[in-house]
Structure 1
């Protein structure tokens, strides 16, 4: 009889304990059991919105068979991951027994149960004594955002209705932060109840062919009393969001002879919409269905969309089924008056005083106010979204798919001046003659002057998509930072007005007091509203602006903003401060206690004062004396004039 040893030899001669082999066999058995466990069909999922193929939508997986390269680039885009089911592959935050002290009330506790993600937190719907607020435990089932932030949505337990966790995960910083801290909102604003918000609002632009399916209008009654059977054709922005429902296209092209004939003849296929073959206005509306500020034209339209989905299809006229808010054009319309009556701050929270959009994600609003769009005499010279961006990375584009996606799907070669000089070819022949800057400098880049960073969103400045020429008048009369002073941060409005007069014949506006004597960026940081402070603080961290203006003088101004009442402004100021030599490791938490924030700000200022760089600038425009000391009394005078009107930017 063979005697069993307590160890067995592996096929490579290494001794492995028998117990390990037995355990390994058990693991293999478990793996087999797991792999054989049936996957829950999408239609059987009950605790979140589900994807269904109906209304002639067939899903991106069907498109993949014939369009593999287009599918590959779309699959690597942030459009696809705009909304995802919460899975081990999509969840970026750590859920392994983590306590998150970033939100109202007691810490949120996260845990992973197999491939599921769960959170325990204070009940946001509690209406009793706050001291008695109970804890609830909910499964996290969905995510929106994948570029800069993850917003996690949990099942409320009421049909398919979702609500949002009290904290948001910042991807670049790898940290949780209170939900209200990641938007530019007035200090002390309470955490809004977002029960059903994704189902009724986010769904319109974060999915393909979403149907809210509320039996009564959203917020007309408590959501627990409503029926919520939300469905989508596909989570995220997928093929059919831009090309339209593809069932007819798939059926027609099962015949290979038809496909080859279309390909050989170069003709368009009438069974599907190719946005780049539409005229510039209609093609841009394909993007504008999501990237615009719009509202239903009437309650009947909302009810119809809730049941059947939004009626717009690529190639349609967008304004036939939606009211696109454009204060310069329809600011006095009945629809706009109704919006303002319901929300008096609607315009200020989305637009500058002259009607130009000021928030991110609404680039179509910027485009349709651009003279390159409104005044173009021919389609081939009409600016459209596809003049600069592409839906799919092309084979000749040397960038990786990730690089292409990370640069907002800008077409190959369109990251520089080519986007403009394809029409303005006369300027391309002698760039410096037009820009009055060195040809290779940031000051000679068309985007920097004509599409400056004057929109806000996602804790950063975004390029305006209204093509304009820089003026000082827009800063004086509207309050919008002008392109010149967003780069030349150490210069006054008067300096910029003089350059624009000498170079382009612009008549300078009337400038008074500090507008002539103090750097424009200092005015915006100390006396501006929260939106101006956020944009300017972001510019302090932008490399071309630092090269043009120097950085040795910036520390006390960014340090001042570390104590700003707006969370978002503090976050941006700290991030910019960390780009300055000597402050890369600044220890500062923008959501920390007031005392801790003050201590960090004082420490930064003390470190700056003790450094040799503190007295290298003696510019009176920057409030420095001839001996290099900072005029704190002048800073206080500007601070006392700050625009403190509450501002909530609706990004």
Structure 2
């Protein structure tokens, strides 16, 4: 029989969909502080787009007036803001802004020695450069104020890089941001590469009116800002119109005035409106537009990272840096109208009350702030609401941040899914089982339903999770980000019944669900995508339109109805802008490669895939795509070499073994193929098609007992994958094991009773069993 191997093309496409929002625009720097200087805050009459050697371009946009102008009328707000995290987001390196010890201090970590010193009045560091050798570098800017401060160095071509070594402002010592990692200079997270590049990772949220201005052809930046820090106008928008109106005489004391006529992020916004505006910086997200002009909604500019287990624990608790949006929008607080400014002073960013008094603004003390609720003695850390319902994690070495999903501890989930819980995080000498027993004693055995019950199951990628995930997706009372994540997990299940629920997401009222549905369905054949995704080209949300356009990019415009062509052209322009915005990311280059691959420009696709690995040597998804490109061109040895490099760099990455096995099978090297396919089955586990292809390869090598085991293991993963029943029916008939063949042939016939081949199978089986 002919081997019907699954296309390796789809495997790499799925890998890309998984990783697109992980790398593109995902922030890695903490929300930190820094000082400003007066010259940064005023526009004056200097020439526009001023740039000094070794400094970031200052764009003196006349619409941005600076905080000193705001101070004139808003002295209370200015006083709160001054010296806040936002005020101190970034500063020129000076004696007043630098907090680290630059008095010849030597710091060593992971074999890298750094010396911090001053020379001719300048702050300097001698540390490992991009060539792996030590060099002297001048510090241009400080980045952050507490609990850590980083330092920025100017590099050629407009690149500004944040050092890997930071200053602990509390302990007053230098420390390594990655103390457990030996980092190759070719890696994305080396301080001279993209992971610690200010232009790419930091600028959009740490300064005001930023334009990244990346040139993909030259790999250079001409970035600019209007104000160096997070000023009043970073949140409220350019102040010129507001000031002109207030000075025009049209405003009189006691008259009705609406600040929102000229400003943004004003008081009186609903929870959804306020969080949507704060999210532009307080969210892990993919960027779609260079710069933010305050108009429209959050997803016109960005697409937030969903709460899948790439960056969150399986139940949605914070794991990697999340910047609050992803956790807070899961919470009952958010869905009951609580907003950022109910707890935080919007200008100082400090909490409005201390301890439990903050929570007691809304929650009655006689019900919650008692031993009858928390079962702990006294007034101490064990009786503070946040330590049970708002646990946290330390990022960047010393920056502790709390999880804003405000959840009830679930040690029962910890036992099954290895998720954290507040009980054993505090009682480190106790087990999760102990915590479960305590909670059941206090509150009974039954837990209130929570979307995390479905997400934890979904994180296993097992077919049994399907029903719970579909129910979560379709329950519009649940958080949109959780529903989008459920859809994402559904897309990874090996069951054709997932198709209709995923398609339903395309018309969901929540843009993050529509966006995620388009991402998942982009692997479909062009004609099917055209039918399903074309309506999204008219979506009200820019990121949704752009995602749909990118998915449909390979379809020539003349194949669309005339009434759709203008919408497709506009959405493709928006998608093209998003490609350019993210071209400084490895996944951005991979997206370029995919685009050129779709429109049949293979040389440009190859160039983009290779450039992704220039940006990050360890970024393997681009190698997988390039291997697929080579395979389509008949360059199978080149493709094989790339797959084997992936395996060398990530020896536990099962899909790479699967792709390698499929390629070797295509090359008629079945003895080698079965080894890779077997390894893939072991590592991936939940993909029945791996077992199917492994079984076919074994069967063609006449290793019949092993092939039978592979097919049967695949049916354990997905009993509904009819291809496995077909393969087993053929295998058993060839071996004249008619009794074994019968139940599988019956399943085939039940699925398609009019198929002559299946009827012939049953006739042969029944004849031989008489």
TM range (shorter): 0.5 to 0.7
In structure 2, do the counterparts of structure 1 residues 488 and 365 end up closer, same or farther at CA, with 3 Å as the change threshold? same
1:292 aligns with 283
The partner residue of 1:351 within 279, 304, 312 is 312
**8 Å contact kept, 2:316–2:327:** no
**8 Å contact kept, 2:376–2:383:** yes
TM-score, with structure 2 as normaliser? 0.48
1:246 aligns with 239
In structure 2, do the counterparts of structure 1 residues 291 and 353 end up closer, same or farther at CA, with 3 Å as the change threshold? same
CA distance in structure 1 between the aligned counterparts of 2:215 and 2:77, rounded to whole angstroms: 38
2:130 aligns with 125
**8 Å contact kept, 2:176–2:397:** no
Matched, 1:318 2:298: yes
**8 Å contact kept, 1:454–1:480:** no
In structure 2, do the counterparts of structure 1 residues 60 and 295 end up closer, same or farther at CA, with 3 Å as the change threshold? same
Aligned runs of 1:69-218 on 2, under 5 Å? 69-102=76-109, 104-108=111-115, 110-114=117-121, 116-122=122-128, 124-126=129-131, 133=133, 135-156=134-155, 158-181=156-179, 186=181, 192-195=190-193, 197-216=197-216
- C-alpha deviation, 1:418, in angstroms: 3.5
CA distance in structure 1 between the aligned counterparts of 2:425 and 2:109, rounded to whole angstroms: 33
SS in structure 1 at match of 2:142:
strand
- C-alpha deviation, 1:500, in angstroms: 1.0
The partner residue of 1:424 within 354, 360, 363 is 363
5+ residue gaps in structure 2? 1-45, 449-682, 684-770
1:469 aligns with 408
CA distance in structure 1 between the aligned counterparts of 2:351 and 2:124, rounded to whole angstroms: 38
Q: Any idea what the Cα deviations from partners look like across 1:466-508, whole Å, max 9, x if unmatched? A: 1111121232233232112222333332332122112212349
Higher helix share: 2
Q: Any idea what the Cα deviations from partners look like across 1:253-297, whole Å, max 9, x if unmatched? A: 1146616335xx57545211243321111111232211111013x
Matched, 1:364 2:325: yes
- C-alpha deviation, 1:211, in angstroms: 0.9
Root mean square deviation of aligned Cα: 3.2
- C-alpha deviation, 1:103, in angstroms: 6.6
- C-alpha deviation, 1:246, in angstroms: 1.3
1:538 aligns with none
Worse-superposed segment, 92-101 or 284-293: 92-101
1:524 aligns with none
SS in structure 2 at match of 1:387:
helix
2:3 aligns with none
CA distance in structure 1 between the aligned counterparts of 2:229 and 2:111, rounded to whole angstroms: 30
CA distance in structure 2 between the aligned counterparts of 1:461 and 1:324, rounded to whole angstroms: 22
CA distance in structure 2 between the aligned counterparts of 1:485 and 1:51, rounded to whole angstroms: 50
5+ residue gaps in structure 1? 1-39, 332-346, 377-381, 394-407, 510-644, 646-651
**8 Å contact kept, 1:326–1:355:** no
1:7 aligns with none
In structure 2, do the counterparts of structure 1 residues 372 and 46 end up closer, same or farther at CA, with 3 Å as the change threshold? same
Q: Any idea what the Cα deviations from partners look like across 1:487-540, whole Å, max 9, x if unmatched? A: 23333323321221122123499xxxxxxxxxxxxxxxxxxxxxxxxxxxxxxx
Matched, 1:53 2:60: yes
In structure 2, do the counterparts of structure 1 residues 256 and 418 end up closer, same or farther at CA, with 3 Å as the change threshold? farther
Aligned runs of 1:596-611 on 2, under 5 Å? none
**8 Å contact kept, 1:99–1:109:** yes
TM-score, with structure 1 as normaliser? 0.56
1:233 aligns with 226
In structure 2, do the counterparts of structure 1 residues 476 and 188 end up closer, same or farther at CA, with 3 Å as the change threshold? farther
In structure 2, do the counterparts of structure 1 residues 392 and 138 end up closer, same or farther at CA, with 3 Å as the change threshold? same
**8 Å contact kept, 1:104–1:178:** no
Number of equivalenced pairs: 399
- C-alpha deviation, 1:180, in angstroms: 2.5
In structure 2, do the counterparts of structure 1 residues 427 and 204 end up closer, same or farther at CA, with 3 Å as the change threshold? farther
In structure 2, do the counterparts of structure 1 residues 140 and 442 end up closer, same or farther at CA, with 3 Å as the change threshold? closer
The partner residue of 1:383 within 330, 338, 343 is 338
CA distance in structure 2 between the aligned counterparts of 1:457 and 1:81, rounded to whole angstroms: 18
1:623 aligns with none
CA distance in structure 1 between the aligned counterparts of 2:81 and 2:236, rounded to whole angstroms: 13
In structure 2, do the counterparts of structure 1 residues 361 and 206 end up closer, same or farther at CA, with 3 Å as the change threshold? farther
In structure 2, do the counterparts of structure 1 residues 430 and 231 end up closer, same or farther at CA, with 3 Å as the change threshold? closer
1:584 aligns with none
Aligned runs of 1:245-644 on 2, under 5 Å? 245-255=238-248, 258=251, 260-261=253-254, 268-296=259-287, 301=288, 304-305=289-290, 309-311=291-293, 313=294, 316-327=296-307, 347-348=309-310, 350-360=311-321, 362-374=323-335, 376=336, 382-393=337-348, 409-411=350-352, 413=353, 415-425=354-364, 427-428=366-367, 431-438=370-377, 440-454=379-393, 456-459=395-398, 461-507=400-446
- C-alpha deviation, 1:96, in angstroms: 3.7
CA distance in structure 2 between the aligned counterparts of 1:167 and 1:52, rounded to whole angstroms: 30
Q: Any idea what the Cα deviations from partners look like across 1:431-454, whole Å, max 9, x if unmatched? A: 232222336343332212111235
In structure 2, do the counterparts of structure 1 residues 430 and 234 end up closer, same or farther at CA, with 3 Å as the change threshold? closer
**8 Å contact kept, 2:242–2:262:** yes
